[in-house]
Amino acid sequence: MRLFVWLVIIFILGIACTRNFNNSCSLAKVKKLYSRKQYFEALECVERAIESNPENFMLYNEKGCILVNLGKAEEALECIEKAIALKSDDNGPYNNKAWALYELGRFEESLEFSNKSLKINSKDYFPHVNKGNSLLALGKYEEAIDAYEGALILDKNGAFALYGKGLAEFYVEKYEACVETFKRYVGVGESKEDAYCYIIKALNYIGEYQELIKFCDRLFKLNSGIHWAYLAKGDALCYLGKFKEGLELFDKAIQLRPDYAEAYYYKCRILALFRCIDEAMKELKLAVKLDDSYKQIALEDDFLNNIKVFSEFRKIVLE
């Protein structure tokens, strides 16, 4: 009987130990959940870990990151401040504070803490990226490019830095550089559709229409329902003298988005060029009805010279 009682006790203790083991939360487990983007589970785990080890600054820092990803940047700041209070000579919490401030739209403060992080450790990729992001948001594009280049020295395939650098180059009209940067990003980043968008826009500005068409086709392989890409490809085909194919793509853009004023206007321009007066007027009416800013655009557009002599044109754009 005594042996039986001891076996029962050992069994119960075994269950308790197993439960405690399964419920234990280490920093490694928190990071694993975070890397899987299981943020709610990671938050629950890190809170249990903090209860067990309230002096571990890394747990507060990790909790801050989780909260930022859950859209709770204000709460994240409180956790990160605790991490800094526990260990003020580690660059990680300063960098994450910069990130949280950026998410709150406090770009000047974000820049300040990125610089603090870099002062402690200039070999960390992420503070360079956060610095670039803040400078980009502040409209300091050339400085942002420098910051992203600093990140890329540390990680030449860093997706965040490549994306930010490509954006900054686009805004300062360095279109050739923008195209090359986003080409590199496409090989490593997740937001490929956005990257193709900027590549296509940049190629349009520099008149590289054949290349633009290639990238539109690559984009269609990812998503065949992007209305503006059909307009971009159609416009490029028109510049290459392939007007019929261009008009067909304008129609495809309209099919995907019937309220797409720009597509109606582009159709109007080509139809006016070939003196298809009635058809051009019809498309212009539709464009203006959807967006009356096209009235002024039409008045200043030399492509429409063939229809400007008609009273109907004046009626459309002046009323």
Instruction: Give CATH 1.25.40.10 domain extents, the chain.
Output: 23-88, 107-206
Cβ-based burial of 183 (10 A; exposed 0-12, middle 13-18, buried ≥19): middle
23-88: CATH superfamily: Tetratricopeptide repeat domain (1.25.40.10)
Strand residues in the chain grouped as ranges (E) = none
107-206: CATH superfamily: Tetratricopeptide repeat domain (1.25.40.10)
Amino acid at 269: R
Distances (CA, A) of 150 to 5, 131, 190, 219, 295: 67, 10, 21, 30, 46
- Model pTM? 0.84
User: What is the residue-level pLDDT of the chain in tens, covering all 319 positions?
Assistant: 544 444 433 344 443 333 333 457 888 999 999 999 999 999 999 999 999 999 999 999 999 999 999 999 999 999 999 999 999 999 999 999 999 999 999 999 999 999 999 999 999 999 999 999 999 999 999 999 999 999 999 999 999 999 999 999 999 999 999 999 999 999 999 999 999 999 999 999 999 999 999 999 999 999 999 999 999 999 999 999 999 999 999 999 999 999 999 999 999 999 999 999 999 999 999 999 999 999 999 999 999 999 999 999 999 999 8
Distances (CA, A) of 231 to 174, 293, 300: 23, 19, 21
